[in-house]
Structure formats: C-alpha cells, structure tokens
Amino acid sequence: MAEAGGSKIALVTGGGTGIGRAIAEALLKNGYTVVLSGRRFDVLQVAAKELAAETGGTARAFAADVGDPQAVATLFSAIRHDFGRLDLLINNAGMGLPAVPMEDISFEQWNSIVSANLTGAFLCTQQAMKLMKAQTPRGGRIINNGSISASTPRPMSAPYTATKHAISGLTKSTALDGRLFDIACGQIDIGNASTEMTSQMSGGVLQANGEIASEPTIPAKLVADAVVYMAGLPLSANVLTMTVMATEMPYVGRG
C-alpha cells in the first residue's frame, strides 16, 4: 500500500478539465492527495503532472467511465489498494447537449447524459459508501455537483435538467443513509463558472423568453474555494446545499 504522507485522500471525477481541475488544484493546495478520474487518460495525466508541479502535492490520474459499473469498481479497488481509504468524493463528471427541442432528442443522447450525470454519481457514491463504512477511522464526505439546473432549467435542456434534479434526490438520500456511518453528503449548485463549457456565454445563449443574450461568468476558482470550505468541515457538520453563481446571471425564473 502506498503511503500518502498522512494527507486526506480525495477523488475528483471529471478532474482533468474545467471545474473538476480547479477543485483538484484547490484541494492539493490544502494538503489533500488527489485522484483525478475521467475518460481520457492523456488529459488526466497532463493535468495530474501540471497540478503536482504547481502545488507540490500528490496527484494521480486514473481513467474510468463513471457510467460503467466495472470501471468504477476497478477505480475504487485501486484507491483502496494504493491508499487504504477515501476521505472525500467529488462527483463532478457530467455532460450536456446544445439546446435541442425535447422531441428531437434521441434515445442514445438521453441515455448518454443519464449515464454520465446520474448513473455515474450513483455508482461512485455506492463504492465510496462501501469503502467509507469499512475504513478506519470510519466515514468521509461526498460532494455532488448539482448545477443551477438542479432547481431551475434552461430552455430545451430536458435530459440535463432531469439528471440534475435527480442529483438533489441522490444527495439527500446519501446524506440520510450515510449519517449513521459518519458519512456526510452535500451538493454545490454552480451557476456560470468560467470554463471551456461556458465560453460561449459571452456570445449569447438561449433565454426563457426566446431571446439570445450574453451572460456573466465567475472564475472556477471561486467554486473550488467553496468546495474546499464544504470539505473542511468536521463530519459532525454538513453543507447540504450551496449555490455559487454569477450575481447577475439569469436564475430565478431564468429571467
């Protein structure tokens, strides 16, 4: 079993780019050993090397499709073998679609989004619960990336919105089922963090009234700092839900 220098062990899914990478960086700067997971090993490997060099921390890359039960089991088996425990799971991996009328969404598109956004979070949570219950000292924390769409949809975003609403239910169920075992679960709902996925917002995105309008963004670092706060609480305390968003973005009523 590899030693992690006594630091806490964190897994960040979708950790090679965007918000996931920002969260991984912030955790490394706060003394965590971080496993970055995602589908593309080359991207993860570059991110892990760069983040380790920048922070002086320990970052590992592990390719896994979170929608595949066997891949997730293999990922957690490797964490158990290399570190013996997991203190923090960040369920961040996910995907969306361009704005598409509901009737034009294919079954394959629907399944892909459900697999990445919801099934993946469930499978990782399931494995984390098993490990956190069995490890010594017992317990840990799980933080889900919910998105503003967990409560208020954008136009023509049914698959993404449905999965993010479901994440809210998964968060509450995990918080309830985990509390007897010192496992805390919370959710961060993010609005317009600046990443490659949100780069088009300055050029305009579809609004609820049918107009195209540009939207403000915030640095992903602000989201990462919020996650570090949530993660740093003692297991006797929990942020069940937190919303971090650009102040002037459309949200309430999306208007």
Distance CA 37, CA 60 (A): 8
- Which of the following is catalytic: 32, 160, 229, 251? 160
Q: Which residue has the tokens 């889900």?
A: 144
Residue 253 pLDDT = 63
Distance of CA 27 to CAs 20, 210, 234, Å?
11, 40, 16
Could you give the domains of the chain? 9-254 (3.40.50.720)
Q: Tell me the mean pLDDT in the region 61-76.
A: 97
pLDDT digits (tens, 9 = 90+) for 213-248: 888 889 999 999 999 999 999 999 999 999 999 998
Distance CA 95, CA 197 (A): 9
Residue 173 pLDDT = 98
Residue 3 scores a pLDDT above 50: no
32 is catalytic: no
pLDDT digits (tens, 9 = 90+) for 137-157: 999 999 999 999 999 988 999
Q: Indicate yes or no: pTM above 0.85.
A: yes
